[in-house]
Structure 1
Amino acid sequence: MSEEKQRRPVLRWAALSVLSAISSAALFGLLGLWLLLRPDGPLPDHWNPTKRLTVAAPVTIVTRFQMMRALGDVAECRAVLDQAGVAFAPMNDLEVDENCGIAGRGQLSKLANSRLNRVETRCATVLRLAMWEHHVVQPAAQDLLGTSVSSITQIGSYNCRKMRTSRGSDGRWSSHAKANAIDITGMRLADGRRLSLLKDWDGDDPEAAFLRKIWRGSCDWFRLVLGPDYNQLHADHFHLENTGWGFCR
């Protein structure tokens, strides 16, 4: 018998052994994944992509996936906000025309840790705002100002109008026309201080540093952010928007 013929059974046996080992590893991997992702499994919720987003949970690589799922499902979005203690009273959807209206409509008056002057908006906008408030605004206030934020001042979310630019009205419809944005003008701190973008944005003091830090941090949670450095139209507020392509200025 030739040496080549003698090697064939050995090679066949080696190939079958490798395939068997790969199949066993894949089977055990799937079994382990199933055990981890079970509702009663050992994996913490903020690491489990099958579990609901929790606003107060630590941010992990899974958080974005959980958030996008909630943003795409109004019922899931409302459940996340309820769990976080956000006061977002449900309202019937507003249907005006193809350009204006609010899906997932409600009235927001309180985030997890701070109040707002009441505003009518959509659930997706509130969810992004809640994540920003918990993971950016409150930690920055403690780090830079030694206190917490007790209330956030806004000047509107829904407004059925065209986009405004420094050259006048734009032919395109504003993101406000579907409540996909909210404008924030300032904060009130737990120690009584009041901050506004118009008077506190510029400078080297802690208040200015705080406002700039939460502006930068808002870019992690909203898809388009415009602030006082963008143009004169935004000198007094942050424009925080759900839609867009990651523009932050």
Structure 2
Amino acid sequence: MATRATPVADLWSGLWAAILAACGLFALVDAFAPPQDLPWKALDLRQPVGAATAAKLAALEVSDADSAQRAEKLTAQCLTLLRQAGVTASRVPDQDDGGFCVVRGAVRISGGEQAPLSPAGVVMRCPMAARLLLWDRETVQPAARAILGAQATRIDNLGTFACRRVYGSRDAAARPSQHARANALDVSAVRLSDGRRVSVADDWDGSGPAGREGEIFLRRLRDGGCKVFGNVLTPDYNAAHRDHFHLDAAAIGVCARKRN
């Protein structure tokens, strides 16, 4: 005479079936989904920006609370990723003026497979440099080819490090700018292989030398920047940014688009 399964046995049987199904689904996702979309896969700056890229970049950030040993470990990991992606970068000494302007885990990019910065030799925190690399490869270069039919050969900038408060405020209550952490870059223009220069000051509204194509190009740069940077501040944000993009790696920020 057959025995009837108990409710507990049915529950365990169903639970094991669910576990096996979940393991099978995980194996399929792990094998076939793009690695840049999977948070458990290691970051690779040679891959496109994916759903998990921002979180992986954030995991490389050095916080004020991190020990010197952890800061060096994270920065070394970040430097390795840059070099694997074809970037020539070197570690620079930390800076600390006593607590206001603190730069930890910074690097200097001196060459490699990306559009060089002009002026060159600027210092920035390593995860910011990684974001800049992804922006160049995934946004700046494709946009230059598709919209302007040229290669982006140089990115003009107004610098990274400046020991000041936001907007240069003298109010002691104002928070430090991301520039005071070397965690930001101000981009003023992009130079092209055909000799053209598309600048934020002249071409943002489409009336400058680059015409309507320059306007479209700059907005493509803004939109792509919003995928990898914390803050992307443009002329639409305020008058202080009328001639440049402010790009930084803040944990929480805004992507400045004109409100209609």
TM-score between the two structures when normalised by the length of structure 1: 0.82
Report 1:1-249 matches (<5 A). Answer: 10=4, 12-13=5-6, 15-27=8-20, 29-30=22-23, 33=26, 45-71=35-61, 73-110=74-111, 112-116=113-117, 117-164=120-167, 169-171=170-172, 172=174, 173-203=176-206, 205-243=212-250, 245-249=252-256
| Cα distance per residue 1:189-231 (max 9 Å; x no partner) | 1222112111121215101110121112212211112112222
Matched-pair identity in %? 34
Give the secondary structure class of the aligned counterpart of 1:247: coil
Tell me the matched-pair count. Answer: 235
**8 Å contact from structure 1 (residues 125, 181) kept in 2:** yes
Which structure 1 residue ranges, 4+ long, deviate > 6 Å from structure 2?
Answer: none
Distance 1:62 1:108 in 2: 25
Higher strand fraction: Structure 1 or Structure 2? 1
Tell me if the contact between 1:111 and 1:130 (Cα under 8 Å) persists in the aligned partners: no
Q: 1:35 to 1:87 in 2, by over 3 A?
A: same
- Greater shift in the superposed pair: 84-93 or 64-73: 64-73
Q: What stretches of structure 2 of length at least 5 have no aligned partner?
A: 63-73
TM-superposition CA deviations, 1:147-189 (whole Å, max 9, x none): 2211111111111112226xx5443222111112111111111
Aligned to 1:159, the other structure's residue is in SS state: coil
CA distance in 1, matches of 2:88, 2:126: 11
The question of whether the paired residues in 1 share the 8 Å contact of 2:235 and 2:245 is answered with yes
State how far apart, in whole Å, the 2-side matches of 1:218 and 1:111 are: 21
Cα offset for 1:52? 2.4
CA distance in 2, matches of 1:63, 1:106: 20
C-alpha spacing 1:70/1:34, structure 2 compared with 1 (3 Å): farther
Larger deviation: 63-72 or 86-95?
63-72
Following the alignment from structure 1 to structure 2, what is the Cα–Cα distance between the partners of residues 66 and 148? 29
Please give the alpha-carbon distance, in whole angstroms, between the structure 2 residues aligned to 1:44 and 1:230: 34
Q: Distance in 2 between matches of 1:151 and 1:186?
A: 9
Amino acid aligned to 1:57: Q
Q: Which runs of 5+ in 1 are unaligned?
A: 1-8
